[in-house]
Amino acid sequence: MNVFKIHSGIRKVGYGYGMPVWFVDCGLGVNYTPEDLLRKLATMGLKEKDWVVIRGGTKEKGVGTFVDALGYVHCKVEVEARGSNQTPGWFNKADRWTVYWDGNKAFNFTALRKGQDILIVESEELDEFLTELGGNDLIDKGLILNGQVDLDKVMKYKVRVYEKDVND
């Protein structure tokens, strides 16, 4: 797995909002085996029942094995993906998914589990998002606020609203 950054922080979106978590940001960086990455997190302070958020890694080789390893040591896993990512075969191994709507439907949104996973949109795309999925009560929806919010729409469609975090 190519990992750009490993760090702890507070979750700013999704069902884990406000929780302390470990972030594993995939991208150009150090190439880890799943075992080495788990070892690295342990030396940084990972403990049983901690949450690990994997960002940008759905296409990385070894992520499914890493998710399995985290479960084996009794940690919880949340995965972030974009709508343009294919739904990986190891989808059900993750405890939670936060998927960012980008207008692309490569990800199988109907696989998202009510009360567990969430589909999030930027405020500029809210109308298109609600036109496509607003009536689907089986998908939990979130909005990253970038300016004003149409309160009537977010109430009608039960959309969770998160402030845009410029630091994350």
Q: Which helix (H) or strand (E) holds 64?
A: helix 63-72
Q: What is the mean pLDDT of residues 78-93?
A: 95
Q: What is the mean pLDDT of residues 91-106?
A: 93
The pLDDT-based confidence of 148 (bands split at 50, 70, 90) is: confident
What are 28-78's pLDDT values in tens digits?
999 999 999 999 999 999 999 999 999 998 988 999 999 999 999 999 999
What average pLDDT does the structure give for the chain? Answer: 93
The CATH number corresponding to 2-163 among 3.40.50.10300, 3.30.70.270, 3.30.470.20, 3.20.20.70 equals: 3.20.20.70
**12-16, 40-44, 136-140: least confidently modelled range:** 136-140
Report how far apart, in Å, the C-alpha atoms of 64 and of each of 42, 67, 79, 104 are: 19, 5, 11, 23
Residue 82 class from Cβ within 10 Å (0-12 exposed, 13-18 middle, 19+ buried)? middle
pTM for this entry: 0.92
pLDDT at 168: 55
